[in-house]
Amino acid sequence: MDIKIKEYIGYNADEILNLYKSVGWCSYTNRPEMLEHAFEHSLKILGAYDNEMLVGIIRAVGDGYSVLFIQDILVHPEHQRNGIGTKLLDSMLKIYPDVYQTQLVTDCTEKTVAFYKSCGFLPYSEMKCEGFMKIKY
């Protein structure tokens, strides 16, 4: 498998919604207009491609100087466990090498926590910080 990481330009609703559906992110797929607007207003989006097929995506928001927030990082289940998520994250971090703080929010599973720790991220609790979120349903 020869995965290429490149900037995701434009918005193809079918490929994006299919990718998000494949990982069960219905909070996005139930609001396709919100997802399209989110893509349009993101700081940077990178895609992982197997030939021409989009198999992963990373989406960052923020200012790119003081804060970079990894809003979405996902890989199609058939392509997981092949280093694609790591490639996406590394590629995004190389674009913003001097950003002061890079943050993300994720589910609290052993696999996910281990992945982000292996990438150099620390839980807020280990930094004596607390995170808060307010969601509009």
Q: Per-residue pLDDT tens for 2-13?
A: 899 999 999 999
Query: What Å distances lie between residue 99 and 20, 92, 96, 110, 137, CA to CA?
Result: 27, 11, 6, 27, 31
pLDDT at 21: 95
Q: How confident is the model at residue 88 (pLDDT cuts 50, 70, 90)?
A: very high
d(CA 23, CA 28) in angstroms, rounded, equals: 11
The pTM (predicted TM-score) of the whole model is: 0.92
Q: Tell me the CATH class for 3-127.
A: alpha beta
Beta strand residue intervals within 1-137, DSSP E: 3-7, 44-50, 53-62, 67-75, 101-104
Alpha carbon 61 to chain centroid, angstroms: 10
pLDDT in tens, 23-51: 988 888 889 999 999 999 999 999 999 99
Written as six digits, the tokens of 74 are 């996902």
For 10, 32, 82, 84, 86, the CA distances from 121, given in Å and listed in that order, are 30, 30, 20, 17, 12
